[in-house]
Structure 1
């Protein structure tokens, strides 16, 4: 996606050699037209899969996952990071560290929204170390649902996340792959 690469070069901030701030595009502000294009691209990449639901982790993955679910004509499910008073007490739950937040959180998905009859497409905004992704994949596996694959807007390929998930046999499609942030410059693969 050339348009996405151009926007990243123009609007992203490099905080250090490991952290890319994408607040203007994905994590704080959302460009609806660009997000729709990303969703259409994920739908195209996984068009041959009989997807029944799109799934993501709140909150930054939700806009692109929504656009993907809309393009596929299926529901969107998202894993919550906080328990509420009305949360399903019997939800699937997994404890995961967050690379960018520097904390450990629980992610939860109500059992009523994932079943063995589902084929799900997991959409995420950024993958670095892949801890949250591995946690949600464990939840999907426990539910008995089939994972069609993982669609990632930005893969930081210099970190192990996407590679370790591919090594698990999961199909991973990234719209943009960043090879390095060294020297304060974004280098794409």
Structure 2
């Protein structure tokens, strides 16, 4: 997706050969027009999969997931990273380790929103080591639902997440695939 790649080049900040900061448009401040285009791109890729729900993880996956849900006309569920007073009963629970935060979170979804007959599209902001994707996959499996695809805004292809998901048979589509962040420069795979 050229508009996304352009935004990464213009506003992304390479913090190290492992970390890309995109808080100017994706995971702190949100560019609504870009999010709309991202939602349209995901809808185009996955429209024919009979999707009934989109699942993401809070917080940075919510904007692209909502825009895709709007385009596809389906509800969006976001896994919460912490327990709240209102999310207490009949929960699907998994654990996710965050590379950028260097901490483990418990994520949860109410089982009443995710059913065995659902056909689910996962959407997330980043794919690096695949820990968030695996946590979401675990939740969906607990519900007995079917995963029809995984949509990723930015993939760090030099890390192992994509390879693991491919080996497990998941269909993964990334809108921007980064080959390298070496020497402070973003290099795209395709």
Number of aligned residues: 189
CA distance in 2, matches of 1:149, 1:159: 20
CA contact (8 A) 2:98 2:104 kept: yes
1:13-162 aligned within 5 A: 13-162=13-162
Partner of 2:168: 168
Gaps of 5+ in 2: none
CA distance in 2, matches of 1:96, 1:30: 24
CA distance in 2, matches of 1:128, 1:87: 29
CA contact (8 A) 2:178 2:188 kept: yes
CA contact (8 A) 2:82 2:106 kept: yes
Gaps of 5+ in 1: none
CA distance in 1, matches of 2:85, 2:142: 24
CA distance in 2, matches of 1:151, 1:164: 15
CA distance in 1, matches of 2:24, 2:163: 27
Provide Cα deviations, 1:32-75, integer angstroms capped at 9, x if missing partner.
Answer: 11100000110000011000011100000000000000000010
CA RMSD of aligned residues (A): 0.7
The normalised TM-score by structure 1 is 0.98
CA contact (8 A) 2:90 2:112 kept: no
